[in-house]
Structure 1
Amino acid sequence: MIAKERDELSEFYQASFPLDFETVSYNIAPTNLVPIVVEREIDSVPSREIHPARFGLIPAWAKDVGNTPLFNARIETVLEKPSFKDSALKKRCVIPASGYFEWDKDKNPLFVYAEPFISFAGIYSFWRDPSKAATDPSRWVLSCSILTKTASPALSEIHDRSPVFLSEDGIEAWISPDYETTDELLMALGQESDLVAEELSYHLVSKEVGNVRNNHPGLIAEIAF
């Protein structure tokens, strides 16, 4: 979820907003739009931008959007799975968040967070909607997935999997467009993620978060065990 306005995102990630879209949401579900940070070169100069993307990757070769959103991509197999491998090689992004919700082994919802942001390692794809005309700008759908891994010791009591977290220094390396992803890079990324996880905080929140129709600041408020 994102509890920050555009200006805060732009300043922290040193990125511009080419499009006007709402960033604040306290309960993001698959297929919702989320901001992603991407980098490309313009006249040999790196340029960072923040774009709205569908949460749930649509492979470029897909015939339709599909019924099962691909919102998580396992780091262990992302370079092998047909749905993810093309994006994983070069279409890397950061998916920023104020935090995320996770259910512990007793089915209690927790809010896991950091200030000012958690940066998830993500991948993205552009999919062309075949039902729309070639002149229709909305024919291109930008979508994304978050990489996941075995949970670090710091988070393993909550759940056996977690998102892959980027350090502030790791952001630039991850979204640089001038190389292809390797297994060695992903291994190093997982190790970095474990270090970032040690700095995260979490607390119990209301079970209201289980219904995506609920979307308000109270969802991230701490409640007593």
Structure 2
Amino acid sequence: MCGRYVLYTDKEQAEIREIIEEVNKKHNFQVKKGDIYPSQKAPVFKGTPDHNGKYLDVMNWGYEVSFKKGLLINAKSETVLEKRTFSKDFKERRCLIPAQAFYEWDQEKNKIMFYSGNDLIYLGGIFRQHEDKEEYVILTKEPIKIVEEVHNRMPVIIPKNLAENWLYDTNDAIGIMGNNYVELEREEV
């Protein structure tokens, strides 16, 4: 389960800085430095109506649902097409969540950060319109070895060169979820 991720820190790189500046201008929204928690608003890329490129928006992390107290913040990629809550969103509304890192906690409750050098990563997600706001969840999958040592799940990570395939082609998105494209490093925080 991915319960927290880092959008940017004081060491943010140029790509993250551009995202922050665009969100602040376009949406009159001040992006929070550091960790992004469930229920918070955060920048998210979604597809454009003409299926050309990606559009930066601001959404709330987590689906509000009547059958569960609290928010649904993750969806298992292996069953996303089978679940009524997520299936249509996966087929029609996939998104990219920009991040510098994500966290998992080990058995002793130590917080471990996973990142790809200084590179921006995209976490794969889906979104929906709920009442007066858009909400997103992060898709998770079986972990790669470095994450498996800490936790039994990890976010789906979408390579930059496959970002538009993820947004616009459902068959490609299914294939992307099943592969491991990104090498990660880890650090205890």
Structure with more of its chain in strand, by fraction: 2
Q: Does 1:116 align with 2:119?
A: yes
- Per the TM alignment, residue 77 of structure 1 is displaced from its structure 2 partner at its CA by 1.0
Distance 1:7 1:201 in 2: 20
Deviations 1:57-81 (A, max 9, x none): 24xxx6x696321110100111111
1:87 positional shift: 0.6
- Secondary structure of residue in 2 paired with 1:170: helix
Larger Rg: 1
Q: Deviations over 1:185-214 (max 9, x none)?
A: 42x22343x231xx2111111xxxxxxxxx
- Structure 1 distance, partners of 2:121, 2:35, is 15
* Closer, same or farther: CA 161–22 of 1 in aligned 2, 3 Å: same
**Distance in 2 separating the partners of 1:78 and 1:108:** 29
TM-score w.r.t. length of structure 2: 0.82
Give the 3 Å change call, closer, same or farther, for CA 45–37 of structure 1 in structure 2.
Answer: closer
Q: Is 1:6–1:23's contact at 8 Å kept on the other side of the alignment?
A: no
Preserved contact between residue 57 and residue 71 of structure 1 (Cα < 8 Å): yes
User: What does residue 149 of structure 2 align with?
Assistant: 157
Equivalent residue letter for 1:83:
T
1:195 alignment counterpart: 181
1:29 maps to what in 2? 37
1:50-69 correspondence runs (5 A): 50-58=56-64, 67-69=69-71
Number of equivalences: 178
Q: How does 1:3-82 map to 2 (within 5 A)?
A: 3=8, 8-9=15-16, 11=18, 17=23, 18-41=26-49, 44=50, 46-58=52-64, 67-82=69-84
The one-letter amino acid of 2:188's match is L
Give the structure 2 partner of residue 143 of structure 1.
135
What is the RMSD computed on CA atoms of the aligned residues? 2.7
SS of residue paired to 2:146 = coil
Contiguous gaps of at least 5 residues in structure 2: 1-5
Show CA shifts across 1:150-189 (max 9, x none). Answer: 112232101111000011111111112xx4x35x742x22
